[in-house]
Amino acid sequence: MIVLGIETSCDETAVAVLDVNGPEDIKIRANIVSSQIKLHAEFGGVVPNLAAREHVKNISHVFETALKTASIVDFSKEIDLIAVTHGPGLGPALLVGIAFAKTIAMTHDKPLIGVDHMRGHVYSNWLPPIGETPSTKSQIPKTNLFPAINLIVSGGHTEMVMMRDYEEFRLIGETMDDAVGEAFDKVARLLGLGYPGGPAISARAEQFSVSLPSGDLHDSLQFPIKFPRPMIHSKDFNFSFSGLKTAALYKIRDLKKEEVEITDDIINEIAHAFQEAAVDVLTQKTIQAAREHGTSSIFLSGGVSANTFLRAELRTATEKEGLVFSCPPLAYTGDNAAMIALAGHFAYQKSDSADWQSVNMQANLGF
């Protein structure tokens, strides 16, 4: 099955073409992404109507580029299925992709399936690593995969999802306030590091780590900083990051009151302490969920899954439990249409209806 995927849920205009013969045989023929990060950086976050306007400007070009890259000559004969993100996401942005998908589905008389963006992130774990044989899925075994715990972390979501089989999901935990990616963005703004905050915080935290002398982590620091781990000992699998963000705000305020100069070294330490606290909560609660639910695997996905410290900590903790660990290739951690095409393939197998009239925006769609 050759699937065309379309993604416009936030600030990436993306179109992909996948040749899918099942979870162990996936060839990515094209995966084109046009990012708007620079456009929204001056606002410190994504502006919905501005994002939608850019999608309108970009989507035809991205679509044509994807078809050319995938060597699609006759769309009507070569494409078997169209998949489009219909939620969750920014309403104005979602509408652009859905309208475009409906138009080409109707024009070419093709089945159209609406895809849950968050399920797309889960399935990004199955996308073949860049540069490897497309049908090779070395990081995910064929057997003993389910049940699996999915930790989905992004700017808008922090969710813990039980997956018992393909297309069998159940939400078991979520953030009660800020998503972890949103918290990263807000703390980065407090530190003057710009947008998006995740990569900036990670880079500064890494600078702090490599500058430390041997021995205890905080022994030689003038202003040792340690942040709280909100809800880390709660009996559920929910998260809270607003308190962690506020702790960073208060620490910066207190240092300024004490007339401490907020140097690059201090910024690096705050970034490190914040990242360490956030990752500690995510890792411990995920392991706790895996133990209580008797899972075989732990999957990490979403934009924040690009964070190398989170990947390393969760991988180490998972492997200590004797479980399978997987996270997507870095190229597929952010929003992309390859994951939407693959999620569309799985959804289509269980769908009763796949016509363009049945696909509508669901901006608050959830598991």
The SS3 call for residue 203 is: helix
| pLDDT computed for residue 211 by the predictor | 72
What is the homologous superfamily of the domain 2-127+331-358 according to CATH?
ATPase, nucleotide binding domain (3.30.420.40)
| pLDDT computed for residue 129 by the predictor | 81
Which residues, given as ranges, of the chain have pLDDT below 70?
Answer: 130-143, 212-223
Residue 170 bridge partners (DSSP): 162
Contact 134, 128 (CB under 8 A): yes
**How far apart (Å, rounded) are the C-alpha atoms in residues 184 and 182?**
5
Rg from Cα positions in the chain = 21
| pLDDT computed for residue 217 by the predictor | 47
| pLDDT computed for residue 351 by the predictor | 83
**How far apart (Å, rounded) are the C-alpha atoms in residues 344 and 348?**
6
| pLDDT computed for residue 167 by the predictor | 92
β 148-153/297-301 pair status: parallel
| pLDDT computed for residue 354 by the predictor | 80
Whether the full predicted model's pTM is greater than 0.85, yes or no, is yes
Domain 148-327 class, CATH top level: alpha beta
Residue 116 bridge partners (DSSP): 87
Query: Where in the chain is CATH 3.30.420.40?
Result: 2-127+331-358, 148-327
